[in-house]
Amino acid sequence: MKMTAIVGSVAMVGVAIGGTLLYVNGNTRADNVADSVIPLYQQATERDLAAIERGRYVAIAGDCVACHTAPGSRNAFSGGYAIKTPFGGIYTSNITPDRETGIGDWTERDFYRAVRHGKGIKGENLYPAMPYNAYVQVSDQDMHDLWLYMRTVKPIHNAVPETQLPFPYNIRLAMMGWNLLFFSNKGFEADPTRSAQWNRGAYLVRGLEHCASCHTPKNALGGDSNKTFQGGNIGDWFAPDITNNEYTGIGRWTPEQIVQYLKEGSNHVAVASGPMAEAVTNSTQHLTDGDLQAIATYLRTLPGSESRSPQALSGGEMMRQGEQVYSANCTACHNSNGKGIPHLAASLADNPAIMAADPTSLLTTILQGGRGAVTHANPTSGAMPSFAWKLSDQQAAAVATYIRNSWGNAAAPVTVEEVNARREALKLPSQMPSQ
């Protein structure tokens, strides 16, 4: 039940693979809430115990806890996480078995309709911030096991604020039209020409992990475009291309490097950042090695996008200024050659996400800073300070341009206007005046 913000008619955003530099935004739960979820609600028969444990795994694979737990809360699944959209905040629901504020009075059928069809308890249409268009592919068995598990978690009495979107986005009946356009009521269909491992990976990527929710760009109405997995803007971040494009995608990553990234939160070049750090912390690091290998197998077969790296900038005042800013502020962690520190500070060299057409993640990281994914393999992760107070918009644009065009990278320059817009969106202060 991963629910995250974004574009169009309140489109969905989840979290799948990718990540640009390091670090998470300030609202991210750095602690691993998934580890604290222990069945507490009702006694289960011995016959149900195996199904409940399977359901717990399904909940982790679906990353339900990340969106249905408010920042800083230890009450897993109790809702209240405000998802940012261009049209206002969408509050995630309480999905604990509390009878008054949660789903304690729901039937299993009610649960199915909400998760797989986007229908609320009263028949109302849910906004597609709830990625039911991905969860529709979750199998009957996994749904049943998930239901049994959710009935065992601790009930929390927590009345979350009601979502209030401005007109016309507050008209939920309009979602009927959206569903006609963009919701395919079809379950997962295995490809008989592919291996069992490939099909398991496809099931996870398309369904439970709902990777397309972030990594597929949205059209004007918030539906998935036909550029599946080619990267999408999710507000404060850009979920990068995860196709086999060798320039902006993961075409040069081996299956082992994909598995390492999902399990540890970092690999030879990338450190999970932003919403992806949440996904790794709460979801993918807990998957079995077999499931991680299945995901890697599937991703390595995605056709590469048509994006091509432009000719790198060389010389010019912007690059000269960017090199000076980088030398003074970035080399301690990312090194003069851009190679970074393994599992701590991402490599900026040979990092395809750095060369994405959309520089949002890079600018958010420079201005806001944050932390990398917290995992069992890397419990301390890395941290980066905010440079909003130190760098002007011109300096930030220059260093971003330099990073995107050095050490073999090649990408369009970043403008001062883009930095200014990002600073305002993040509500960060201007550069502090020098003494």
pLDDT-derived band at 263, boundaries 50, 70, 90: very high
- How far apart, in whole angstroms, are the C-alpha atoms of residue 209 and residue 58? 10
Average pLDDT, the chain: 86
pLDDT-derived band at 13, boundaries 50, 70, 90: very low
Helix (H) or strand (E) holding 383: strand 383-384
- Can you give the pLDDT at residue 248? 92
- How far apart, in whole angstroms, are the C-alpha atoms of residue 149 and residue 151? 5
Structure tokens, 392: 């002007």
Q: What CATH number labels 317-426?
A: 1.10.760.10
| Range in 72-86, 93-107, 157-171, 395-409 with the lowest mean pLDDT | 157-171
- Can you give the pLDDT at residue 88? 67
* Omega within 30 of 0 (cis) for the link into 168: yes
| C-alpha distance from residue 287 to each of 106, 152, 246, 277, 411 (Å) | 29, 21, 27, 15, 34
256 closest CA partner among 306, 292, 224:
292
- Can you give the pLDDT at residue 171? 74
- How far apart, in whole angstroms, are the C-alpha atoms of residue 146 and residue 353? 34
- Can you give the pLDDT at residue 19? 34
What pTM did the predictor assign?
0.87
pLDDT-derived band at 127, boundaries 50, 70, 90: confident
- Can you give the pLDDT at residue 176? 86
pLDDT tops 50 at residue 315: yes
| Range in 37-46, 166-175, 371-380, 420-429 with the lowest mean pLDDT | 37-46
- Can you give the pLDDT at residue 159? 94
Give the CA-trace dihedral at 392, 395, 401, 402, to 10 degrees: -150
Mean pLDDT of 281-296: 97
- How far apart, in whole angstroms, are the C-alpha atoms of residue 210 and residue 289? 19
Domain range summary for the chain, segments of one domain joined by +? 33-165+187-299, 317-426
